[in-house]
Structure 1
Amino acid sequence: MSTIYELTDQYEEILNMFYDGETDEDLIFDTLESIEGEIEDKADNYAKLIKQLTADAEMLKAEEVRLNTRRKSLENRAARLKSNLQANLEFIGKTKFKTLLFSFCVATNGGKQPLAITENLGEIPGKFLIPQDPIVDKDAIRELLEEKEVDWAHLEPRGKSLRIR
């Protein structure tokens, strides 16, 4: 069985036979019919591979979701246990000690101090605001281009994709 590349080359050769006018049309149609069967078989095999790979990817995606959910659950449990231990240690005043396995210390966090800012930006002086460049509203421009043409924008041709059902 030929590769998809060889079959494509054979199609091109047949097309050239139509243009040269010297080759018998019956021969061209017989050759074309044999190639079409091979291409259809090749396309079926490609489709089988594509479907299998897609199914495997979906299975892995589902497994990712399951494992991610489990990981988050374990992280949340660990955080609750740590918070509970910290609260109890602070309550009894035992904030620094060692055991045979671990060292414990309740300490103030470092880094930048947390900051709370009002929701009303009008209350904040301008020198504390960062100006930003305008952002293009692409949906509004698409709507405009449906009505009329403009020099500063145009719609690109849509891409193509193979659909296998």
Structure 2
Amino acid sequence: MSTLYEITGDYLRLLEMLEEEESIDPQAFNETLEGIEGEFEIKADGYARIIKELRAESEKYAAEVGRMQKRMETLANNEKRLKQYLYESMKATGKTKFKTDLFSFGIQKNGGLQPMEIVPDVEIPDEYCRKEPDNTKIRDALKAGKELPFAVLKERGDHLVIR
């Protein structure tokens, strides 16, 4: 049995022959076409079975990832809770820096950018704001036929559907 690549090549050569040659025996052409189409459909069925198996296997792994993700979150939450409890206990007792045989403990100021809060209900001047394009408004204008020098609609992609 031919590969999908070979079948596709045969099909394209047959169509090319139809375009180039003026006199082709219609019966021979139809028989060849039916043979190629039959092989193509058999091959497509095989591909579909493999695709479905791969999807099922992928979904099985996705479920396992979900289960492990929940376990990871539980462990991380437990770590965070214990660390917060130790932090609060150290602050309450005033024992903010000490060493044991295994670990060193200390409470220190956070690094990085200094925290900031935007005061609600106070207008922020334009010089402190970013201007971002409204994609929905731009897309609607292009669909309506308006020509915009800064944007164009692109062709939609396509994909295979197997039911």
Give the TM-score normalised by the residue count of structure 2: 0.80
Matched, 1:43 2:44: yes
Contact preservation (8 Å) 1:145, 1:155 = yes
Structure 1 gaps, min length 5? none
CA shift digits 1:98-127 (9 cap, x unpaired): 2222222233334444333313452x6x59
Match of 2:30 in 1: 29
Match of 2:15 in 1: 15
Distance 1:144 1:112, change over 3 A: closer
Matched, 1:67 2:68: yes
Give the TM-score normalised by the residue count of structure 1: 0.79
Distance 1:21 1:57, change over 3 A: same
Match of 1:135 in 2: 132
Distance 1:36 1:93, change over 3 A: same
Secondary structure (helix, strand or coil) at the match of 1:5 reads helix
Distance 1:79 1:10, change over 3 A: same
Distance 1:71 1:37, change over 3 A: same
Structure 2 gaps, min length 5? none
CA shift digits 1:84-109 (9 cap, x unpaired): 11212222232233222222223333
Alpha-carbon RMSD across the aligned residues, in angstroms, is 2.6
Secondary structure (helix, strand or coil) at the match of 1:48 reads helix
What displacement does 1:154 show? 4.2
